[in-house]
Amino acid sequence: MSRIGKEPIPLPSGVKVDIKGQKILVSGSRGNLEREIMSELEVSMKDQTVLVENRDNSKRTNAFRGLTRSLINNMVIGVDQGFKKILIIEGVGYKANMSENTLTLNVGYSNPVEFSLPEGVQINVEGNNKIVVESIDKELLGLTAAKIRQIRKPEPYKGKGIRYENEYIVRKVGKAGAK
């Protein structure tokens, strides 16, 4: 049995879950999210909790039970509180600017890099080197933050680039330190 999948998902006040066949719609104060689940799984409501059950007893279905429970839990947390990731830009002259729906990054290339935001993601630039990415969809938030980081990954010698706030970059010794 999946230990994560067996756990019920508690619903905070203000969050509403609608189950229509294999489609789940979660709505809360921050917005609405919906997801289609596998036909081998069954989602039901009991009191103020959501339960995920197997329709058959295969190992594959049991694995997807835990995944589905985590995805639904992230939907509930997202519409109630939301998610955010913080990116830090390090390097001399490296900076970020936000204008309407476009993030402009000056990160050492000859031209500024423009990144257009997907629907449902908000970005705030604090100072010139701190990017706060927020969304109610955890999956979309992680994908967007990873794409921004991909523009200029941190390099191991001086640590210049775009990194997550709590990410540790392993530094290498340069040519002079090898002797």
* CATH number, position 11: 3.90.930.12
Closest by CA position to 2, among listed 52, 71, 74, 73: 52
What pLDDT score was predicted for residue 179?
60
What pLDDT score was predicted for residue 124?
93
Q: Of 80, 102, 127, which residue constitutes the final position of a domain?
A: 80
* 7 shares its domain with 75: yes
- Helices of type H across 81-112: none
pTM: 0.86
Dihedral pair phi/psi, residue 76, rounded to 5°: -65, -45
What does pLDDT average to in each consecutive run of 10 residues of the chain (179 residues)? 82 92 92 92 90 88 91 94 94 91 92 93 91 94 95 91 91 76
* 65 shares its domain with 88: no
* 76 shares its domain with 89: no
Distance between CA 30 and CA 164 in Å, rounded? Answer: 25
What pLDDT score was predicted for residue 1?
54
Q: Of 80, 100, 116, which residue constitutes the final position of a domain?
A: 80
Distance between CA 20 and CA 65 in Å, rounded? Answer: 18
* Residue 96 lies in domain: 83-164
